[in-house]
Amino acid sequence: METFLQTLASGILIGGLYAIIGIGMTLIMGVLNIINLAHGQILMISMYITWVLWHYFGIDPYMSIFITIPTVFLIAEGISKYFLHPLIDKDSILPENQVLMTVGIGMVIMELARTIFTSDFKSISPTTTLRGEKIDIPGYLQNSIHIANISISIPLLIAFSISIFLTLGLFLFLTKTDKGRSVRATAQDKGAAALMGISTAKITILTYGIGSALDAAAGSLLLPIYYLYPDVGPIFTVKAFVITILGGLGSTVGAIFGGLILGLAETFGATYISMGYKDAVGLIIFLLVLVFFPGGLKRFTKV
Amino acid sequence: MTNNTQNGFFKLTKFEFTAIAIIMISPLLFSWSMYFQGLLIIVMLWIILGLSWNLMAGYTGQVSFGHAAFFGIGAYAAALPYFHWRISPWWGLITGPIVAVAFGYFLGKLVFKLKGPYFALGTLASGEILRIIFGEEELITNGHNGIFYMTTWTSKLPYFYIAAALAIFSILIIRKIIQSKLGFYFLSIREDQDAAEALGIDTVKYKNLSLAISAAMAGVAGAFYMIYMGFIDPEVVFALHNISIITILVGIIGGVGTIWGPAVGAIVMIFIQELFRSSLFGLGPEWLSRLHSLVFGALVVLIILYMAGGIVGDWPIIANKIKSWKNKTEGQS
């Protein structure tokens, strides 16, 4: 029973973090109508920024969110504006041209990281030196709290809380602001949105930025609990599209539940089946949903 | 290249004849270097894989992101009988495609219900699932330890000629298919699946057929990889990036939906990667060798942006540009 509760707790916590990765992907999916196969690599950019900020400047990983979000937002705007958007009017044999472009961009990002940081594994080191001065990592990053016999790691808890906070912020943005409403309108019907006077081109580019910014937040939150190397991107790209399909394409509420389900499936798979099958569990659920339950959770949530 | 619509299977145009002649002579030109001969063999492998992907994606419009699944299954079809019963991996050239087609049949049942991005994701997931399963089931597949086999010959030449024969045979098969009625069925599915169905084409049947041929070719490539390299493990043959994605990029660079596209793509990819890996063949500074994949990735991005048809597909445009550029420079001088 303890194992069960322990697994449940960590599943939900990691699921919350997965949820914001998934929401970013699903936003992009809804508005741009493409699978962003560079999603994990964009998350990796944020992880590397966070790592550099800690390693060379001694900035707390959670504080670096304030730097990674705007930086990645700008990078993603650039990608979207100069690489993805021009493809809309281009004639090509395969309609998946933009998806293939994200593959190419993902590869470039990954290889850039490999060139700059080499293929070494990196993680938040317990201490770093800044101008000859030793800085210890904030204590809470290494501790965990115990409720009954369940231990909950504090970094995971913080990640979960910030994820919820960001999700709420996104919902406020999408429902209460003009820009947010335009994003939703564009996702629903591009043509109609354009007729209502929304500049769909601008909204499309903006959405890619917002989706990537959420991704960036997830990257900063992930670094204290994960390790970092240039090939980390594809792992999270796969997770992101599993969540997106589970939740239903373009459904933000669905993506939250999709993230939680994936987190739970992974942790339960790791505990009760085998550690090695952890990643397969998500993929198998994904294939089953795709084939037998198309539309995913969107069928229930309707948003 | 364009007026060969009625060619027989072995009747070659001048261009094709020269290309095949160059392929046949090429390893002899590099007889002083095992390294270059090895590269040529890898090029042939990528040509087969690229062709296989191109038939499904370029001609039938079903963009597969999981070609590593067929490649890996072919490789394991060659390796597993050897591992368990010491049966020569060479039989894999026959069993590989058969097993890959059988797997493709079941995969097709699942993924052909899906369209567009869903299809891409479905195939991608299938490759990844196989990678994890083959890595975990150690009793059957020896897991991450992989399977090792002493290769038959130390010389690269016999391998090269077998690989070249397979590659040329694949090109001829694809050409034959594309010029036949079957090819037009495939194209009609790519252009508009619903319209094809309305015209009485059994799209499910022809998509499965396309998948079967494609899977068989990838299976052969996988089996040959096992025979040539003498070592496989799931992370290598089911690799998402190094096999599935690179296969797609080879197809895109060369030209989606062209017969010679994958061949050109494979040559360009290997050339660029090796050029940079060896720091411009030892002439440039050492740090260039770290850029090999980066340059290739950047090339892919540029090709998608500016040459959507790939090198072969947009060749008329490129040739025109070169011509006008030549005229300009001649006019100036």
- Predicted confidence (pLDDT) per residue in B200-246, tens digit: 889 899 999 999 999 999 999 999 999 999 899 999 999 888 899 99
How would you write B161-194 as a 3-class SS string? Answer: HHHHHHHHHHHHHHHHHHHCHHHHHHHHHHHCHH
Residue ranges making up the domain that contains B30: 14-240
Chain B CA closest to residue A86: B305
B88 in a domain, yes or no? yes
CB pairs under 8 A between A and B: 125
Using an 8 Å Cβ cutoff, are A81 and A101 in contact?
Answer: no
Using an 8 Å Cβ cutoff, are B50 and B266 in contact?
Answer: yes
B 77-136 residues with CB < 8 A to A: 110-111, 113-114, 116-118, 120-122, 124-126, 128-129, 132-133, 135-136
Q: Hey, what's the torsion of the CAs at B238, B244, B247, B252, to 10 degrees?
A: 180
Of B8 and B78, more confident: B78
B292 in a domain, yes or no? no
Residues 6+ apart with CB under 8 A from B244: B64, B65, B66, B67, B68, B69, B124, B127
- Contact: A284, B129; criterion CB under 8 Å: yes
Tally of domains within chain A: 1
> What whole-number percentage of chain B has pLDDT above 70?
96
Interface test with A, best of B258, B301, B317 (most A CBs within 10 A): B301
Residue ranges making up the domain that contains A13: 2-301
- Can you give the pLDDT at residue A88? 80
Taken as a whole, chain A contains a residue count of: 303
CA distance A47 to chain B (A): 20
CATH number at residue A92: 1.10.3470
R_g (Cα) of chain A, nearest Å: 19
- pLDDT of residue B39 exceeding 80, the answer is yes
What count of Cα atoms within 13 Å lies in the side-chain half-sphere of residue B17?
A: 5
* Chain A CB within 8 Å of residue B291 CB: yes
Average pLDDT of chain B to the nearest whole number: 87
Chain A residues contacting B, CB < 8 Å?
34-35, 83, 86-87, 90-97, 99-101, 103-105, 107-108, 110-112, 114-115, 231, 234, 238, 241-242, 245, 274, 276-277, 279-280, 283-284, 286-287, 290-291, 294
| Crossing angle between the packed helical segments B14-29 and B34-54, to the nearest 10 degrees | 150
Six token digits for residue B311: 């090198």
B263 in a domain, yes or no? no
Each residue's pLDDT expressed in tens, for chain A with a length of 303 residues: 788 888 888 899 999 999 999 999 999 988 888 888 899 999 999 999 999 998 888 888 888 999 999 999 999 999 999 998 888 877 777 777 888 899 899 999 999 998 888 888 888 777 777 777 777 777 677 777 787 778 888 888 889 999 999 999 999 999 999 999 999 898 888 889 889 888 888 999 999 999 999 999 999 999 888 889 988 888 899 899 888 888 887 788 888 988 999 999 888 888 888 777 877 888 888 888 877 877 777 666 655
ipTM exceeding the 0.90 mark? no
B325 in a domain, yes or no? no
Beta strands in B44-145 (DSSP E): none
CA distance B138 to chain A (A): 11
B271 in a domain, yes or no? no
In 3-state terms, what secondary structure has residue A133?
A: strand
B155 in a domain, yes or no? yes
Q: Name the phi and psi angles at B75, rounded to 5.
A: -65, -45
Tally of domains within chain B: 1
Q: Are strands A144-147 and B147-148 parallel, antiparallel or unpaired?
A: unpaired
In this prediction, residue B5 has a pLDDT band, given cuts at 50, 70 and 90, of very low
B58 contact residues in A (CB cutoff 8 A): 93-94
Taken as a whole, chain B contains a residue count of: 333
Rounded CA separation B111/B121 (Å): 9
What count of Cα atoms within 13 Å lies in the side-chain half-sphere of residue A188?
A: 14
Rounded CA separation A224/A124 (Å): 6
Query: How many H-runs (helices) and E-runs (strands) does chain A carry?
Result: 12, 4
**Conformation bin of residue B236: beta by default, left when phi > 0, alpha when psi is -120 to 50:** alpha
